[in-house]
Structure 1
Amino acid sequence: MSTERMPNPAMLIPGAMEALMDVNKAIAATGLDGKLLALTHLRASQINGCGPCVAGGAGQARRNGASAEQVDTVAAWRETPWFNDSERAALALTEAVTRLADNADPVPDQVWDMAAKHFDHKELAALLLNIAITNTFNRINAPTRQQAGKW
């Protein structure tokens, strides 16, 4: 197991963690389904290899009503029957936004259109902000090797 390289950077800069948490509060205040937010957080964190966020996202998903099958198979959501169409659209958008540099067309129209079919602009805004803040946390935690369970 690798060891932490430094304390969490957001904890070292006064006000940084509070600002990040305020974004999370704003996202939650939109009313977008907490299970959906947790599943997208979990999926982005899996892609980015962020141990603390994977652990946190799995727990958050369970607390918000995700089934054990959903938590266990979110990385293989395309090949399982446990996700509805709106969850699939959100997970596809999550993967595209998290992997922006991997494709010439980072968020293809097909992915965007499917998400827009299931979510209005406010919900899409909340979903995109959730993906972005998750990626922010992942990009703070992974390079500094923050450890799951060490809060």
Structure 2
Amino acid sequence: MSTERMPNPAMLIPGAMEALVAVNTAIADTGVDGKLLALSHLRASQINGCGPCVAGGAHQAQHHGATAQQVHAVAAWRETPWFSDEERAALALTEAVTRLADRPDAVPDQVWDVAAKHFDHKELAALLLNIAITNAFNRLNAPTRQQAGKW
């Protein structure tokens, strides 16, 4: 097992972690379903290989009412019956936004239109901020090899 390369960078810059946490708090305060946000966080973190965020996302998803089936199958959400249409729209958007460079049209209209059918602008803003902050945490944790369960 690899070891940490350095402490989490956001912990080394005064005010950085507090700012990241403040964005998370603002997202939570929008009223968007916590389970949906946690499933999105979990999926992005799986894609990015961020151990602490995968562990945290799974815990938060269960805390907000996700079933064990959902938590265990979120990486294969397209091939399971355990996600609502709204959750599927959020997960498709999460994957597209997390994998921006994987296709010429980073977030295809089909993905955006389905998400926009299920979420209003404020909810989409919360979901996009959730995906962005998750990717920020992933990009701090993965290269520095932060370990799940260490906090």
Please give the TM-score of this superposition, normalised by the length of structure 2: 1.00
- Whether 1:143 and 2:143 are equivalent positions in the alignment is yes
Q: What is the distance in 1 between the residues matched to 2:88 and 2:62?
A: 18
- Number of positions where the alignment pairs a residue of Structure 1 with one of Structure 2: 151
Give per-residue Cα distances to partners, 1:76-133, cap 9 Å, x unaligned. 0000000010000000000000000000000000000000000000000000000000
Q: Aligned partner of 1:102: which letter?
A: D
Q: Unaligned regions of 5+ residues in structure 2, if any? A: none
- Whether 1:13 and 2:17 are equivalent positions in the alignment is no
Q: Unaligned regions of 5+ residues in structure 1, if any? A: none
Q: What is the distance in 2 between the residues matched to 1:150 and 1:10?
A: 16
Q: What is the distance in 2 between the residues matched to 1:33 and 1:17?
A: 24
Instruction: Give runs of aligned pairs for residues 72-87 of structure 1, distance below 5 A.
Output: 72-87=72-87
Q: What is the distance in 1 between the residues matched to 2:56 and 2:103?
A: 28
Identity in percent: 85
Instruction: Give runs of aligned pairs for residues 38-49 of structure 1, distance below 5 A.
Output: 38-49=38-49
Question: Once superposed, what is the RMSD of the aligned Cα atoms?
Answer: 0.2
1:92 maps to 92
1:24 maps to 24
Q: Aligned partner of 2:90: which letter?
A: A
Q: What is the distance in 2 between the residues matched to 1:150 and 1:137?
A: 15
Q: What is the distance in 1 between the residues matched to 2:84 and 2:59?
A: 20
Q: Secondary structure at the match of 1:45?
A: helix
2:34 maps to 34
Please give the TM-score of this superposition, normalised by the length of structure 1: 1.00
